[in-house]
Structure 1
Amino acid sequence: MYAVIRTGGKQYKVHEEQILKVEKLDGTEGSQVEFDDVLMYSDGETITLGSPKVENAAVKAHILEQGKDKKKLVFKYKRRKGFRRLKGHRQNYTEIKIESITV
């Protein structure tokens, strides 16, 4: 059994007991979150596609960790001009564990 959910402008294929990192969500560690934006659901035999969402479907998860990702370096360079810029960026994320998928 799995579902495809949309959060943070991205789509994720999730199944129960899965741990994944998503864009930062509001909430504290240990709190419950619910995703109503379920785009597809499969119970192993049949596949239900939403248009655009599956009606009365929800994915429940709880937050394991709020953190920052590894630093990504952004380097800008223009040849023969002496222009160089080096910046770093650390993206916020939320690590969640999928508890249940209900339809």
Structure 2
Amino acid sequence: MYAVIATGGKQRRVEAGQRLQVELLEAPQGAEVTFTPVLLVDDGTVLATPAELASASVRGRVVGETKGPKIDGFTYKNATNNRRRWGHRQRYSTVEITAIAKD
């Protein structure tokens, strides 16, 4: 059984026991989180309509927090002496999927 969940503006395909990195969640380490599935597939049976997915849920546990790669940027405009350096490093929550329930 697998499900497609929406989190952080992205959709991810998940299965029970899988670990994935999602956008930073406001939950402490070890906390239970619940995701709403967009699609659920169980042995060839596909649940995709909002009425069918009303009782379905995907539960996970926050394992930790990680950081993505450093992104360095430089902006330069000729003849105006305009230069700017910037950087960004995205923070992610690592979540382990514990259960996928369709009832």
TM-score (normalised: structure 1) = 0.86
Q: What stretches of structure 1 of length at least 5 have no aligned partner?
A: none
Provide the identity percentage: 36
* Cα displacement (A) at 1:3: 0.4
RMSD across aligned positions (CA):
1.9
CA contact (8 A) 1:4 1:41 kept: yes
Question: 1:17-96 counterparts in 2 under 5 A?
Answer: 17-35=17-35, 37-51=36-50, 54-96=53-95
* Cα displacement (A) at 1:10: 1.2
Q: Distance in 2 between matches of 1:86 and 1:52?
A: 50
Q: What stretches of structure 2 of length at least 5 have no aligned partner?
A: none
How many residue pairs get aligned? The number is 102
TM-score (normalised: structure 2) = 0.86
Report SS of the residue matched to 1:75: strand
Deviates more, 1:8-17 or 1:62-71: 62-71
Structure 1 residues 74, 43: closer, same or farther in 2, change over 3 A? same
